[in-house]
Amino acid sequence: MQKSMTSSTDQTTFITTYIDEGEADLLSKSDARPGLVFLTGYESGRVFMFEDRQIMTGRSDECQIQILEPDVSRTHALFDISAEGVEVIDMRSRNGVYVNGERVQRAWLSDQDLIRVGAVMTFKLVFLNPSELKFQEDLFNAAVHDSLTKLFNKRYFLGVFDKRMTRVRQGSSRMSLLALDLDFFKKLNDSYGHPVGDKALRHVADLIGAESRDMDVVCRFGGEEFMVLLHDVDLEGAVQIAERIRASIESRPLVHQDREIPITTSIGAACSNEITGAPDKLISLADTRLYRAKKLGRNQVCSQSVAGQSPFIVVDSPSR
């Protein structure tokens, strides 16, 4: 603890501060750096810190901040960072750049200014020191992750899903989706209690994550259902990944009080090139195949909605 005193010819002022020596630097703004906080969309709360001198926003793959919205131009706005500060420049966009509600061609930005790109996408300029950045990142992580399993939550997953389906419709990528549901989970809960059921969900979440790639998105979709969004994978590849996940869960029972509790899962697999129209048809297709896997006996991967519809067969458990 420390006690400080300041004085002048007119008066003496005593200021008592209760700050540990190690915390004093956390209050300093001298190490603050500029960045943007997302205020709209599924990434609301995310922080993008400026690491380069120039940051481009727009629909193009070349943009550091890619915004896949129809009202956003391919190269929409440029953030120019220099010793003088941060300047935003409209790159001849169709729908404009707005600072605090006013359309601008270029403008110097101040801390807490609101920048709108196109009709909806809004950012806030911030200057954060390392402790403030960590606090903001912790808030964002809490908002997009399931508190029990630490996987992404349904809201964030659906945001990523919509964004990637936009790229699929543009013909620039493909993706597949796995829908997973634990078999007889209600029976496990009734037999061992909800705390063990929660432990089983965390156990399965870890196994799914271990069999997924960094570019894939794994989420707890609700209850005992999980979704895995597979980037640039066709249906055959999706079935192979799904089978690895299924086999991993079957071969690694949950250990509780020195007792092994077997867990199995049914999985439905679907690929973006199988659907036309609304993106949520892919989710419906994967769900349909998930419930067909259950109807066929559980503990298996299904990539057909009905018999003979697809060249890919139902993958049964090796132990069956």
Active site residue ranges: 224
For residues 285 and 257, give the distance between their C-alpha atoms in angstroms, rounded to a whole number.
39
Amino acid letter, 293? A
Amino acid letter, 271? C
For residues 184 and 192, give the distance between their C-alpha atoms in angstroms, rounded to a whole number.
13
Amino acid letter, 141? N
Backbone angles phi, psi at 261, to 5 degrees: -110, 110
Strand intervals (E) in 83-201: 85-90, 97-99, 102-104, 106-109, 114-117, 121-128, 175-182
For residues 64 and 16, give the distance between their C-alpha atoms in angstroms, rounded to a whole number.
46
Q: Which residues contact 163 (CB under 8 A, 6 or more apart)?
A: 42, 68
Q: Which residues contact 175 (CB under 8 A, 6 or more apart)?
A: 164, 165, 168, 229, 230, 231, 232, 233, 271, 272
For residues 15 and 34, give the distance between their C-alpha atoms in angstroms, rounded to a whole number.
31
Q: Are 227 and 219 in contact (CB under 8 A)?
A: yes
For residues 204 and 148, give the distance between their C-alpha atoms in angstroms, rounded to a whole number.
12
Hey, what's the torsion of the CAs at 193, 198, 203, 206, to 10 degrees?
A: 170
Q: How many residues does the chain have?
A: 320
Q: Which residues share a beta bridge with 302?
A: 268
Q: Are 233 and 192 in contact (CB under 8 A)?
A: no
